[in-house]
Structure 1
């Protein structure tokens, strides 16, 4: 990275770190939500962006992390930290048990299989008394948005650091090789099954931590909200919009789309969803590789109308 990029990154981090002291309550709450979405997008980025497996099952990890905190705090009266650890344990066990069979599938077969996981898990939890069944669980309130903001910011930095490490590690290079040509990676000596399960597990741990923090923040949890497939779609859109397979793309995508969604909801509430959909479609058509690729082309002086036109023609529009 060049000097001006480091300066820009330092300024952005300073603004984020100081937000709770100069921003309004609404801005802090928006920040918590956006930071947690950025963590989810980064978690999906590991399995989807770097490994090339479009997972719709990350919302299961999010729900397990949420229920880990809720069960530990409500049913067992344990501290929040133990709840986070329990949620992570649930996510790891789930990833290891289902990762091997599910990750043997490829392409749309894998996507369909993971899409069904959220519904199955919601149905299971709805019949578990320890998890409150369909009624859900109410966590003890803690009105400290600064604390939750700090936790969300710290987790976002950790998740981004993990993705940055992937770009410079043997493990990360193995994931990229699987994404580009899985059979070729296996021939070159990459243990593809192990690497995919490790990526699935790492992605799940980050999603579970985000779910645990969010559950304690909102203080209420039920199966429908915990295992919401719409949340998985949202994290995919944010990662792709910013630039899947890049370090900062999912974070930029999460903040950009969160801001657009918030503005549309407050200014044009009646058709906010329609406008948001139009923004996403236009972004996918005009810049299929995300904002990071667009910024790279602009920096190199190769961003032209011809590039945008080629993307339109590639989508046969």
Structure 2
């Protein structure tokens, strides 16, 4: 990474860090949501972008992290920090126990297997008294949006640094090898099962931390909102739109799509629900490798970049 790239990224982080001090309450609240979505997109990027396994189960990690915080604070009267640790432990245990059998599947079989996890987990939690069953849990309020914003931004920075580390580590190279050719990676000595489970667990950690922050911020949690499959769809779309398998692509995708979606929701409510569907089609057909790849290649190929992708998809 060039020096001016690092300087530009550092300047962007400083601008984002200053939002709570010069932005309105509405902007801060939008920022919390957008930053947490960016964290979720980065978390999915580990298992989906670098390992090549399109997981629809990351919303389960989000829900476990949220319930870890809620149960610790409401039922056990423990501090927020302990709840975050508890939520991460739940997510890691779930990722390991589920990942060992499920990650043996590939392609659409893996996607289908993880697709139903959110509904199954919501049904299970709905019958656990400790988790409030169907009624849910009400967390103690903390009216401090600045704190939640900085926590969200700090978590995003950590997630991005982790992705950057992956691009330069033996572990990251192993994940990329699995994505490109899993059989070949195994022949070259990569313990594919261990690497995939570790990637699944690492992805779950960031999703759980984001869920814990969001639960404490909104102060209410129930099974349907905690294990919402549409949240998983959003994180996939944002990662793919920005550029799955890149360091900054999921952040660009999450922040840009969050801003556009917020504008459409407030200005043109009737078509806001169609927006993400249009994004999926546009991203797959026009720029299947996301904005990051488009910016890199557009300078060389110009508008031919889009026509080449269209021809490649036989449209």
Answer yes or no: same fold by TM over 0.5.
yes
TM-score, structure 2 normalization: 0.98
Partner residue, 2:142: 142
Partner residue, 2:133: 133
Give secondary structure in 1 for the equivalent of 2:207: helix
- Measured after TM superposition, the shift of residue 276 of structure 1 is 4.2
- The root-mean-square deviation of aligned C-alpha atoms, in Å, is 1.0
Partner residue, 1:75: 75
Task: Kindly indicate whether the alpha-carbon contact (under 8 Å) linking 2:65 and 2:90 is maintained by their aligned counterparts in 1.
Answer: yes
4+ residue stretches of structure 1 with deviation over 6 A?
none
- Measured after TM superposition, the shift of residue 14 of structure 1 is 1.3
- Measured after TM superposition, the shift of residue 102 of structure 1 is 0.5
Q: CA–CA distance in 2 between the matches of 1:96 and 1:154?
A: 26
Task: Kindly indicate whether the alpha-carbon contact (under 8 Å) linking 2:95 and 2:200 is maintained by their aligned counterparts in 1.
Answer: yes
- Measured after TM superposition, the shift of residue 316 of structure 1 is 2.9
Give secondary structure in 1 for the equivalent of 2:273: helix
1:147-162 equivalence runs, <5 A: 147-162=147-162
Task: Kindly indicate whether the alpha-carbon contact (under 8 Å) linking 1:68 and 1:83 is maintained by their aligned counterparts in 2.
Answer: yes
1:99-110 equivalence runs, <5 A: 99-110=99-110
Partner residue, 2:283: 283
Task: Kindly indicate whether the alpha-carbon contact (under 8 Å) linking 2:65 and 2:208 is maintained by their aligned counterparts in 1.
Answer: yes
Partner residue, 2:6: 6
**Does 2:177 align with 1:182?**
no
Q: CA–CA distance in 1 between the matches of 2:52 and 2:200?
A: 11
Task: Kindly indicate whether the alpha-carbon contact (under 8 Å) linking 1:294 and 1:303 is maintained by their aligned counterparts in 2.
Answer: no
Q: CA–CA distance in 2 between the matches of 1:7 and 1:143?
A: 34
Task: Kindly indicate whether the alpha-carbon contact (under 8 Å) linking 1:260 and 1:276 is maintained by their aligned counterparts in 2.
Answer: no
Give secondary structure in 2 for the equivalent of 1:302: helix
Partner residue, 2:303: 305
Deviations, residues 101-158 of structure 1 (Å, cap 9, x unaligned): 0001111111011111111111000000000000100000001000000100000000
Q: CA–CA distance in 1 between the matches of 2:8 and 2:25?
A: 26
Partner residue, 2:63: 63
Unpaired runs of 5+ residues, structure 2, are none
Equivalent pairs, count? 315
Partner residue, 1:223: 223
Task: Kindly indicate whether the alpha-carbon contact (under 8 Å) linking 2:241 and 2:279 is maintained by their aligned counterparts in 1.
Answer: no
Partner residue, 2:265: 265
Task: Kindly indicate whether the alpha-carbon contact (under 8 Å) linking 2:66 and 2:212 is maintained by their aligned counterparts in 1.
Answer: yes
